[in-house]
Structure 1
Amino acid sequence: MRLPSLLASLALTSFLTACVATPPAEVSKGFIDGRTTDQGLAVMQAFVPAQPIGVTRGNAEMAADFLDLEFRMESGRALPVLTRFDGPITIGLRGDVPPVATSELQRVLGRMRNEAGLDVSMASAGTQPSITIEFMPKSTLRRAVPSAACFVVPNVGSFGEYMKARGTAATDWGRITHRKQATIFVPSDTSPQEVRDCLHEELAQAMGPLNDLFRLPDSVFNDDNFHAVLTGFDMLMLRVHYAPELRSGMNEAEVAARLPAILARLNPAGQGRGTGPKAMTPRSWISTVEATFAGRSGARLSMADRLIGIARAQGWNDGRLAFSYFARARAKTGSDTSGAIADYNEAARIWRNTPGAAIHVAHVDMQLSAFALSSGQFDEVIRMTDRAVPVARTHQNASLLSSLLAMRAEALEATGRDAEARSARLDSLGWARYAFGSDTQVRARMGDIASLAARGRRG
């Protein structure tokens, strides 16, 4: 299940809301209208196939990750057996299918075939697909499941079937022993990036592991939502899930006994490498994360303080501690600038020492660039975006990339580098179309960032 908003993106929104004291009716002189420019239409960008983000950790640690992904639900409920599809997996589309959906689906299916070795393809016309992807208005999905942007359900072939069967044993993942049919529900009226992100995460969970783990730095199977597309770790988990040594109906002990040999065969570079297994994340920390990001503004700081306290009591020095500092930095934004910057820097320090967390550091650079832009530290914005923009491209995160490029354009313009600024701004607009969808949302985001730069110019 994908959350309705990216936790990693909320901090920038919070920063812009807090720091733009007046409505951003005026934007900087360099702002280009989101629809037309004197160079023509700002065309929506799209990512081309790229080298996937590789596996970064040792097999012993990933074996424990696999078991916790396979035999737990996001609620913490245990799953009795491993389940998977038998034979070829086919995918069908129905409903109000967005223009980008087919190409994005074909791209991710190609990756699943090439990187995970899955026998997966589009369903032939007139046949019943193994997995149906149904698109419908976001408002319809939210009425059914308010906490999800998109989600997958077993043993149904349509939204109508789901509404009739929900709450019954048929749609309970814990009651099935084989996967025969599933449907993924995705909003039709959302941005191209959100469509793509839903396809990646929900297809992977429809076929493979059902859980999300906050401790994973290198995976979309993580509710922090920093990773937007399937990583090398995710593809390895799918490859293990369909390894011939495993079968539907095996319990955790049976799978655990076979995992070392499977991982040694599929990922020989991970043998004897890295740290051992990490402890499960307690529900108290997960519940506090939810309260920190969804709660009232007055309670968020105390919740974030509690997050850090739990993380330290657990003895963590990994991404969960970093995320705790990230959450507290967000809670401090608008009321304690120096404290927020210190917490962002502490989060970045931990993530820099965490394999697979380069995208997390890039998100921190975005937050710190916003502070620097609003305080007139334009050279610092250029320095931070220099290192963060390539990371955002590699990880195919258009919302992060467009925001970084917009900040970079403002800083370049403020330092007299007009030609570079114009190029960065046009690039930003193209990625913003992919990330945010409508012209209205694109212009709002660009206008907010331009207002930060205007504040910085005023000193």
Structure 2
Amino acid sequence: MARAPFSLIPPANTLKGAIIMIASAGFLTGCVTSSGPQDRATQPPPARVLPPEEASPSPASKALRSYYAGVQAELLSQGLMRTDTGAKDAPFSARMLANNFARIAFFDEFDSSSGRLVARSTEKRLRRWQKPVRVGLNFGEAVPQKQRAIERARVRSFLARLTRLTGHSIQLADSGVNFHLHILNTDEIKSIGPTVRRTDPSIGEAELDSIINMPESTYCQVTTSIDDSTSLIERAFAVVRAEHPDLLHLSCLHEEISQGLGLPNDSPQARPSIFNDDQEFALLTPMDEMMLQMLYDKRLTPGMTLAEARPIIDQLAESLVGGDS
């Protein structure tokens, strides 16, 4: 199996994925004592025990929440994190679409063959899912119950959109999950190492470290497990930080779920696209939609090399955009 982790900043790429069942990192415990009537007047009122979703975040989590609010504000002030389609100022041709697809679908940004993650562009064969994708959405205690319903609705809507684009079944599920999506705060992320080890004993130290020690500059991450003999994605595991403000959070959902379908790379030439580290666009764009359509087109097959696929890629791009003028 080949493992592939990706992240929004810096984007990560291809390692061998691990399915991780997240355990809650924090518990509230209390001690109850009783007192007689003569003591009640001098006893302080009992402390209110908060339910898990109201539990106070740690200082580290509070600091990150403030930090990412500042990051989003700064990006927006620069005209980045756009939510439009880019049609007015970022038109693209069939050739541009084909070149971007080739770079994003057939290359990884990071290489782990040396036992550690190295930023090195590495060409790979085409990878995608064949089995239906069943997404399990899991929350840490940092996410309030009322927010969880909103999250489920928006993820379900996005998965339906991806299903329409790809023609591949991609749904939220409570059983048979093969794409684990976790929304956790920084303390919960650091606590999942033992669970990762239990679920995937073969995971390397570099891959495990990339999950539990995500630096501040890594907003979110997805790891896929790929069958080397077939180039089929078997499992995926994604982490999105619970400290993000709404648009940054939604941007992470769009990118990590889409990358987990088989578009692992980023390219500075991809515009308008979320598969670009410049953060110009926050949400899936028309170019991104076309790349997902191309990825799951039956004329392309998992395991193809870029050389084998290139004539088909050009044909698909021309059919979606039209010939270059």
Q: What is aligned with 2:128?
A: 84
1:145 aligns with 2:214: yes
> What per-residue deviation string (whole Å, max 9, x for no partner) do you get for residues 235-288 of structure 1?
1000100110111111111111211222233x1x43123xxxxxxxxxxxxxxx
Aligned counterparts of 1:139 and 1:73: Cα–Cα separation in 2: 29
SS in 1 for 2:250: helix
Runs of 4+ aligned residues of structure 1 deviating over 6 Å after TM superposition are 11-14, 173-176
Q: What is aligned with 1:129?
A: 177
Q: What is aligned with 1:10?
A: 74
Q: Are the aligned partners of 2:72 and 2:248 in contact in 1 as well (CA < 8 Å)?
A: no
Structure with the largest fraction of strand? 2
- Classify 1:8/1:271 alpha carbon distance in 2 versus 1 (closer, same or farther; 3 Å): farther
Aligned counterparts of 2:102 and 2:277: Cα–Cα separation in 1: 18
RMSD: 3.1
Aligned partner letter, 2:9: L
> What per-residue deviation string (whole Å, max 9, x for no partner) do you get for residues 409-433 of structure 1?
xxxxxxxxxxxxxxxxxxxxxxxxx
- Classify 1:7/1:222 alpha carbon distance in 2 versus 1 (closer, same or farther; 3 Å): farther
Q: Are the aligned partners of 2:139 and 2:182 in contact in 1 as well (CA < 8 Å)?
A: yes
SS in 1 for 2:129: coil
1:186-225 correspondence runs (5 A): 186-225=240-279
Aligned counterparts of 1:255 and 1:83: Cα–Cα separation in 2: 12
1:271 aligns with 2:323: yes
Among 178, 185, 205, the alignment partner of 2:239 is 185
- How high is the TM-score relative to the length of structure 1? 0.43
Q: Are the aligned partners of 2:165 and 2:292 in contact in 1 as well (CA < 8 Å)?
A: no
Q: Are the aligned partners of 1:151 and 1:186 in contact in 2 as well (CA < 8 Å)?
A: yes
- Classify 1:53/1:104 alpha carbon distance in 2 versus 1 (closer, same or farther; 3 Å): farther
- Classify 1:210/1:53 alpha carbon distance in 2 versus 1 (closer, same or farther; 3 Å): same
Aligned counterparts of 2:272 and 2:167: Cα–Cα separation in 1: 20
Gaps spanning 5+ residues in structure 2: where?
1-6, 11-67, 110-118, 191-211
Aligned partner letter, 1:128: G
Aligned partner letter, 2:272: D
Aligned partner letter, 1:270: G
CA shift for structure 1 position 116: 4.3
1:43-192 correspondence runs (5 A): 56-74=91-109, 75-96=119-140, 98-99=147-148, 100-123=150-173, 125=174, 127-141=175-189, 143-146=212-215, 147-155=217-225, 177-192=231-246
SS in 2 for 1:121: strand
CA shift for structure 1 position 141: 3.9
1:410-425 correspondence runs (5 A): none
Aligned length: 218
Answer 1 or 2: higher relative contact order, Cα 8 Å, separation at least 6.
2
Aligned partner letter, 1:228: A
Q: Are the aligned partners of 1:85 and 1:178 in contact in 2 as well (CA < 8 Å)?
A: yes
Q: What is aligned with 1:355?
A: none
Structure with the largest fraction of helix? 1
Gaps spanning 5+ residues in structure 1: where?
15-49, 156-169, 274-459
SS in 2 for 1:184: strand
- How high is the TM-score relative to the length of structure 2? 0.59
Q: What is aligned with 2:281?
A: 227
Q: Are the aligned partners of 1:7 and 1:225 in contact in 2 as well (CA < 8 Å)?
A: no
Aligned partner letter, 1:58: S
- Classify 1:106/1:84 alpha carbon distance in 2 versus 1 (closer, same or farther; 3 Å): same
Q: What is aligned with 2:296?
A: 242
SS in 1 for 2:307: helix
Q: Are the aligned partners of 2:108 and 2:124 in contact in 1 as well (CA < 8 Å)?
A: no
1:371-450 correspondence runs (5 A): none
